[in-house]
């Protein structure tokens, strides 16, 4: 018989197929053929993107030139634009405001053939540093309430370009899903005077059957109430509510575990498309001792259909206990990149260049462009 499992934080119920669970071989495989033609994210194509907001390059004063290791640019087709006022207003019973926000693209590597599962420690550290610095910079805009970092890999996960990239969208509103997590964590803390995420992490470490991998500072596991097959969360062992306060030491361990987890998913599920998101505290300047930042990683193996839309329940055909066992039993070493370029590895003297555009708009306010 299947099981109904309830999420402690949100109160949401999911249906877990414990009767006849599906293993990795049961899911369709998606091809990720590298084409590489006319890619606007490749070096020497900078004229096809807007001016960079931030970059890491081996030499200073070379903005928007090919010699870079990582670039952040405004999205060419942004969901929200930085210019303008919110103009909050009502229309009968409805609320609305202008689509003000920020939409940025983090181009993670100059090498078109590399993906995050191929990254070495330096490459993944550069990406995480960019995440952190962009979050901190956007907090200077008082119109914005929440920033979400996310990554879409593969067509079925929503990626329109194959060159490795992730995105950041800053909103003038705290999203409902985040609000549910925050309110659930607050209720738990008020009752128990403990962080719900810390308690969950302690239980996962104690029971161990849903653990995927761990290192000194971070833990990866399949949540007890997983909504999707082979869903993995990564949490810091120590209580931290704000991803933007991550230290260099934590970046090293977090990056290592993230690449390891992606490597396990790649091998166990035959290189699936996936999404990941980073949930952190809102931009307001107060400590959230009840909240715990985390990354949620979701392989795209199933589709959301009528039952899920109609009920808010998710049917997960693979129990997290089985998913974790499968992932533990494969290697987590970085995936070799066929025909990979050595260019990025040979560059020395890396420096960061946070480029201030010439006009008076904030750095994130430059013309839209990029993904």
Q: Which residue has the higher pLDDT, 173 or 365?
A: 173
For residue 316, what pLDDT is reported? Answer: 97
Residue 25 belongs to some domain of the structure: no
Round to whole Å and give the CA distance between 353 and 106: 14
Round to whole Å and give the CA distance between 138 and 277: 18
- Assign residue 68 the CATH number of its domain: 3.30.428.10
For residue 284, what pLDDT is reported? Answer: 85
**Calculated CA dihedral for residues 261, 264, 268, 270, nearest 10 degrees:** 90
pLDDT tens by residue, 104-130: 999 999 999 999 999 999 999 999 999
Residue 125 belongs to some domain of the structure: yes
Q: How far is CA 175 from CA 85, 99, 142, 182, in A?
A: 19, 14, 17, 10
Q: Judging by beta carbons within 10 Å of its beta carbon (0-12, 13-18, 19+), is residue 174 exposed, middle or buried?
A: middle
Task: Please list, in sequence order, all residues whose beta carbon lies within 8 angstroms of the beta carbon of residue 249, skipping any fewer than 6 positions away.
Answer: 217
Q: Which residues are catalytic?
A: 165
By residue range, what is the domain housing residue 182? 49-365
Instruction: Assign 285 a pLDDT band (cuts: 50, 70, 90).
Output: low
For residue 130, what pLDDT is reported? Answer: 98
CA angle 65, 62, 50 (to 5 degrees): 50
What DSSP line would sit under 184-210, residue for residue?
Answer: HHHHHHHHHSS-HHHHHHHHHHHH-TT
Residue 1 belongs to some domain of the structure: no
Round to whole Å and give the CA distance between 117 and 52: 25
Where residue 199 falls (left for φ over 0; alpha for ψ -120 to 50; beta otherwise) is alpha
Task: Please list, in sequence order, all residues whose beta carbon lies within 8 angstroms of the beta carbon of residue 181, skipping any fewer than 6 positions away.
Answer: 9, 10, 279, 291
Round to whole Å and give the CA distance between 48 and 42: 10
- Please count the other Cβ atoms lying within 10 Å of the Cβ belonging to residue 360: 6
Residue 43 belongs to some domain of the structure: no
- The DSSP bridge partners found for residue 134 are none
Instruction: Assign 38 a pLDDT band (cuts: 50, 70, 90).
Output: confident
Q: How many structural domains compose the chain?
A: 1
- Does residue 328 have a pLDDT over 80? yes
Residue 294 belongs to some domain of the structure: yes
Residue 220 phi, psi (nearest 5): -115, 130
- Please count the other Cβ atoms lying within 10 Å of the Cβ belonging to residue 7: 17
- Does residue 355 have a pLDDT over 80? no
Residue 76 belongs to some domain of the structure: yes
Residue 262 belongs to some domain of the structure: yes
Residue 35 belongs to some domain of the structure: no
Q: Which residue has the higher pLDDT, 44 or 361?
A: 44
């Amino acid at each position: 018989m299947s099981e109904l499992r309830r999420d402690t934080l949100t109160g949401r119920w999911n249906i877990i197929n414990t009767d006849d669970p599906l293993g990795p071989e049961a899911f369709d495989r998606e091809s990720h053929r590298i084409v590489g033609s006319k890619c606007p994210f490749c070096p020497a194509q900078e004229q096809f993107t807007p001016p960079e907001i931030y970059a890491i390059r081996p030499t200073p004063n070379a903005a928007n030139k090919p010699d870079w290791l990582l670039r952040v640019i405004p999205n060419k087709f942004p969901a929200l634009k930085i210019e303008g006022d919110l103009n909050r207003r009502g229309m009968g019973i409805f609320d609305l405001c202008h689509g003000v926000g920020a939409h940025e693209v983090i181009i993670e590597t100059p090498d078109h053939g590399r993906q995050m599962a191929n990254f070495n420690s330096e490459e993944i550290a550069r990406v995480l540093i960019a995440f952190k610095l962009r979050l901190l910079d956007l907090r200077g805009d008082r119109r914005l309430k929440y920033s979400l970092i996310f990554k879409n890999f593969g067509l079925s996960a929503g990626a329109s370009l194959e060159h490795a990239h992730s995105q950041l969208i800053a909103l003038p509103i705290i999203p409902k899903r985040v609000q549910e997590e925050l309110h659930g964590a607050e209720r738990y803390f008020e009752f128990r005077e403990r962080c719900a995420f810390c308690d969950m992490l302690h239980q996962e470490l104690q029971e161990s059957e849903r653990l995927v991998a761990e290192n000194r500072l971070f833990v990866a596991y399949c949540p007890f109430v997983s909504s999707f097959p082979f869903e993995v969360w990564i949490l810091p062992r120590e209580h931290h509510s704000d991803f933007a306060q991550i230290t260099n030491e934590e970046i090293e361990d977090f990056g290592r575990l993230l690449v390891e987890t992606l490597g396990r998913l790649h091998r166990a599920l035959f290189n699936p498309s996936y999404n990941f998101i980073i949930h952190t505290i809102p931009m307001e300047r107060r400590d959230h001792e009840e909240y715990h930042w985390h990354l949620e990683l979701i392989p795209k193996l199933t589709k959301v259909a009528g039952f899920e839309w109609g009920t808010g329940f998710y049917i997960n055909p693979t129990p997290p206990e089985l998913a974790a066992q499968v992932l533990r039993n494969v290697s987590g070493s970085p995936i070799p990149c066929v025909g990979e370029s050595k260019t990025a590895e040979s560059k020395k003297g890396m420096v960061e260049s946070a480029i201030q555009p010439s006009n008076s708009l904030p750095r994130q306010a430059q013309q839209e462009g990029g993904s």
